Structure formats: C-alpha cells, structure tokens
Amino acid sequence: MRELQAVQYNSDLYSDQNLLYKSGLVDTPTLSKNLTYLWGKDSDIFPLLTMTQGQNAIRTVKVELDDTQYTWPTMGRRKVTTKLIGLVNTNLTQPGIGCSFFDIYVEDNTVHAQYSIISPNRKNILRFMTEPRKLADKKYVVTVQLITGDLNEYVTSDQLIAGRSWAMGATSVAASLSDGTASNRMFPGKLTNQFGFQRYSQIIAGNISNKVVPYELDLAGGGKTNFWMPFEMKQWEVESRMLDEVDLWISKYNRDAAGNITMRDLETNEPIPKGAGVVEQIKAAGNYDTFSVLTKTKFDNTVRAVFGNRTDDGPMEIILYTGQGGAQMFHDMVMSEASGYIQALADKVIGGKDGYLSYGAYFNQYRTIDGKLITIRTSKFFDQGPFAQADRENGRMYNGLPFYSYNMAFLDHSADAGGERNIVLVYEKGREELTGVYLGLTNVPDAWIPVTKRQLSTTKDKASYERMISRGICIKNATTCFMLEMEAA
C-alpha cells in the first residue's frame, strides 16, 4: 500500500516557524476570504441591455417560413428642394437678364410647371414655365424665367454650380384662364433588419457541483457561498451577457443584395443570420463622424444633427453614452467655454473642510438654445468592455484611458404617441430565450435540475447547461442618433 505522504526528516540546527512552513504543517495566512477583483467587478457594463430589456423596451416578432427579417413602416421628410445640374446653354453669361427664358438641367421632377424655386443665396426666384422633361436617370430639362421687376437682374454663376440645392416656392398663375397644377405626394416606406441567434453552453464533469473552495464567493442574486459552481455560473452569465451587449453594438447585417444570407453552418449548411447593430444602423442614416479633440463647434454640430432631424414637438429623450474619457472631454469642453464664469462657479467646484480643499463638480447635461436636453451617461462598457481591453493591449491610449472610452453614442430613447420606445430589442416569438440541461451521470447543481426526476441523456460522466436566444436591436428612427468615434490626432 502506497503511503499518502512520505515521512520527512529535517536536520536543521534549530526549530522555528519556517521549519513548520517548509514541512507543510502551516498554511500561508489569508488576509480575507473575500476575493480581490484586480480589474473591478463587472457592473454597469451593459448599457443597451439595461435601457431596453431593463425597461421592457422589447418587441417579439412572429417568424414566417424561418425568415428572421422584420420591417417597420417609415415616413421620410417631405422633399421641398431640387438640385441643379447646370445651364443647358453654357455660353450664357447673364442667364435670365431682361426676364428672358433659359433652360436648366435639374436632377428630378419634384418641382412642377408653374411652381418656383429660390436660389441658395435667396436673391433669385425662378418660375418653371414648363413641366420638367426627363432626358436620363437623374437628369431633367426645364424652361425657367426670373420673377422680378428688375430687367438687369440675372442669375450669377456661383448659384448654378452642379449639386446646389434650390428651395421650392409657391405657384404663380394668371388671374384668369389659368390651368391647374400638379402636386406631389409621399407614401410610407419600410426599413428592414433581422435578428440572429446566440447559443452558450456550460459543460461540467465529475463531482464539481459539490466542491467547496476556501473563499467566500459572490452569488448572482447577492449573498455569499463557498460552493464553486454557483460562482462559475455567475461568471458564465456575466460573460454571455457581455458578448450579447457587444453584438448589439457592432453586429452587421449579413444578407447580400439578392437577399441571401452570406454565412452557413459547416455541418448542417443552415443559414446563420445576423442583424445590423447600433453602429451600422446609425452609419446607414449618415450620422457618423470621428474626432480627436472635442470642441464646442464639433459638439454643437453633432447635437444639431441629432435634433435637427425631428420637426415634431414630441418629447425627446437623448442619452449620450460614453466612458470616463468622453465624460472628461465633455466637461473640459464646457469648462473651457465657461472660463469667463469660473469665479461664479468657484464655490460649486471647490469646497473645503477642516483645513483641506476638495475639487470636483462636473457637467453631465447639455441644454440647447431651444431648451432640448442631452444627458451624459457614463458606462463601464466604454472603459472596461472588450473594445476598451483591446485598446489597452494595442496601446491605443489617450491620457491614461483607452480610445474607446472617448467614443460617444447619442441614442434617441424617446417614446412615440403609443408609448413604444425608439430603440427596442427584437426577439422571435416563442424563442425569446430557451434554456435546458443536458443530463449525464455527473452531479449537477440544484439550479440546473429542471424536473424532480432525473432522466439521463448520455452515458458519459458529464452534463451541460444550454441557452439559446434570438435577439436583435431595432432603431426605428436612426436619423435622431449619432456616433462620434475617437481617432488618433
């Protein structure tokens, strides 16, 4: 029979505590049974899931014929401009002088006969004397005349540059014997996205569910335990939730122009759908830009892009998501602009007690000149999430923080008249989230056992916890959102 531990012989000249330690009879003292998290705990790191799933901003979609696409009706802004291509007769140096007729090329037939258009500098008004006649795709010809009493007025060449937009004006007709005019109309359209599927598994073997460790471990719902598996389950939950959060931000729509999904499973050849995430939807709306240093001009231009695409009077709930870097840069920008008021703010910024001074009061809201409010919400997702960790490891740092910490996402969480949020999570009806346990001979944690009677699914000494979800994110109106991304100066 093998000895469990060989007898140790020691020939030191004296005995002390080190002798006991080297003999394995004394353990290293533990300062605390509580774990020290070297990078902090993963809290406040799921901004999208918190603001959608956490506030019940969820839509379920009934899927037909295994198609994961979904649509939502939209109505664009009414078009009241037309773009000029140029003069038909390029030899004209003073087009329109003496109230003469002349021909121009325009990109569309938005403006009809008897309507008018106003020049970009608003010094000339042209009446469409004929209906625009199509010559080619995005090319129409129309005869126009200046509306003026000044026979010396003409259209200057700088107003006829190709691509310049002229504003649409009212009709002008005779007092009698006039003819009717044409009109435009708008029809609702629709936008399309799709959701994808994620699946996460946790596999165990042996008797790990009954093993304890010499630490007090945090439970997902609060409290402590010495059992290892509840803690490992918490880690698994946090990691899968983090990866879901990442997917909601950067996922890309993977259908080609013909509507075919471009990715398939190697074993089953089944299509693997992915939907457009927040960033791709905002980019598709044209509301994406980069910056290296945040200036008030840059910030104001971004804010105008966000609010300028809403002409209704409905309440807007714009939240600016960013990290410590973006919040600090925003504060520095405002402080720089408010430098003339620093003396008035001194009692709010600098405090003191018992002979010591403290500094710290920071701006976290921005009100536009017409009273609209943007709230800054810092999230550890931008400071400690996967993108931030990659920035740290790749040396993409600025003032001690990863570049991603400075990214700014302006998201419109406003609710419509029916109370539905602009940004919602989308699930497949009936498969929002499915969980199950694949049982074997391995003892499983109590939380895993879905039924009181154990039924084996495999002869092997292992078991697994399975989760599958259908999930996508829909921004119904991405024109009221904006993404500012930090780049190197």
What is the share, in percent, of the chain residues with pLDDT greater than 90? 23
Structure confidence by residue, pLDDT tens digits, 76-87: 567 788 999 999
Helix (H) or strand (E) holding 394: none
pLDDT, tens digit, 9 for 90 and up, residues 218-246: 765 667 777 777 777 778 888 888 888 88
Q: Do residues 98 and 151 touch, judged by C-beta distance below 8 A?
A: yes
Per-residue pLDDT at 405: 94
pLDDT band at 4 (very low <50, low <70, confident <90, very high): very low
Instruction: Look up the pTM and report it.
Output: 0.69
What local confidence, expressed as pLDDT, does residue 176 receive?
81
Average confidence (pLDDT) over 8-12 = 51
Pairing relation of β-strands 397-398 and 288-291? unpaired
Position with higher pLDDT, 211 vs 64: 211
- CA 461/CA 441 separation, integer angstroms: 5
**What pLDDT is stored for residue 58 in this prediction?**
55
Tens digits of residue pLDDT in 95-149 = 999 999 999 999 999 899 988 899 998 899 999 999 999 999 999 999 999 999 8
The residue extents of the domains of the chain are 30-77+186-341+361-489, 81-169
Tokens 């520095």, residue located: 332
User: Residue 221 has what pLDDT?
Assistant: 63
- What per-residue confidence (pLDDT) applies to 19? 46
CB 435 within 8 A of CB 355: no
Strand partners, 215: none
pLDDT at 5 over 90: no
- Rounded Cα distance, 149 and 98, in Å: 9
pLDDT at 343: 52
296-342: pLDDT as tens digits:
888 888 888 777 766 666 667 888 999 999 999 988 888 777 665 55
Measured between alpha carbons, how far is 265 from 40 in angstroms, rounded to an integer? 37
- pLDDT tens digits, 428-478: 887 888 887 777 767 777 766 654 345 667 667 777 888 888 888 888 888
The tokens describing 107, both together, are 């990109």
The torsion angles phi and psi of 196, rounded to 5 degrees, stand at -120, -170
Q: Which ranges of 133-227 would DSSP assign to H, the alpha helix?
A: none
User: 79 with 184: CB under 8 angstroms?
Assistant: yes
Q: What is the mean pLDDT of residues 26-53?
A: 54
- Tokens 């799709």 correspond to 194
Over the stretch 149-168, which tens digit does the pLDDT of each residue have?
Answer: 899 999 999 999 999 899 88
Model pLDDT, residue 323 = 93
Q: What does the radius of gyration of the chain's CA atoms come to, in whole angstroms?
A: 33
Distance from C-alpha of 412 to C-alpha of 410, rounded to nearest angstrom: 7
Q: CA–CA separation, 349 vs 367, rounded Å?
A: 20
pLDDT band at residue 45 under the 50/70/90 scheme: confident
